Amino acid sequence: MTQLYETEIINIKGTQGHSDIKDGLSFQVSSPLEADRDGLNPEQFMGLAWSTCLNATIMSLLKGRNLSHLDSKVRVIVKMMKEEAMAGYYFEMKAIVSIQSLNLEDTMKMAIQADKFCPVSKLISKNPHVTLEVEKY
């Protein structure tokens, strides 16, 4: 394999502090459990990562099929859940894909294909709380 790119992010003080991209932007961060604090939370970052990556992969597949004139959209819903027994937290993530002019069956085929290639999907999609749906554009 070949390395094409590298980035580094440093967090100080968890959701009480900030997360900084090395040589880049600094973000004040927060937790949904601390509703009185401004800042982006991990749920939002995960949704930003997956929606961007999955839709970029769909666009690349459409281009490969000479369908680059079609627009696509990916909505990602991230839920923070609490397990009753262990008192632990986990995220549920659902991506909802829509592609202009395609019916739901063809959209699902494209979404499943993209989910195999998208690097963020490769990291998360084996998790049982991560799911894929489609809707009309």
Q: Which of 117, 103, 101 is nearest to 64 (CA)?
A: 117
Residue ranges in 16-35 that form contacts with a second copy under rule CB under 8 A:
16-17, 19, 21, 24-25, 27, 29, 31-33
Using the rule CB under 8 A, which residue among 101, 109, 113, 123 binds a second copy? 123
CB atoms within 10 A of CB 63: 12
Using the rule CB under 8 A, which residue among 37, 64, 66, 82 binds a second copy? 82
Using the rule CB under 8 A, which residue among 101, 103, 113, 127 binds a second copy? 127
124 binds a second copy per the rule CB under 8 A = yes
What is the per-residue binding string for a second copy in 33-72, x denoting contact by CB under 8 A? x------xxxxxxxxxxxxxxxxxxxxx----------xx
Q: Which is nearer to a second copy, 66 or 86 (CB)?
A: 86
**Burial class, 115, CB count within 10 angstroms (exposed 0-12 / middle 13-18 / buried 19+):** buried
Give Cα separations from 65 to 58, 61, 109 (angstroms): 11, 6, 13
Tell me, by CB under 8 A, how many residues bind a second copy.
76
Using the rule CB under 8 A, which residue among 70, 91, 100, 133 binds a second copy? 91
Integer Cα distance of 23 and 2 in angstroms:
23
**CA torsion sign, 122 to 64 to 72 to 97?**
negative
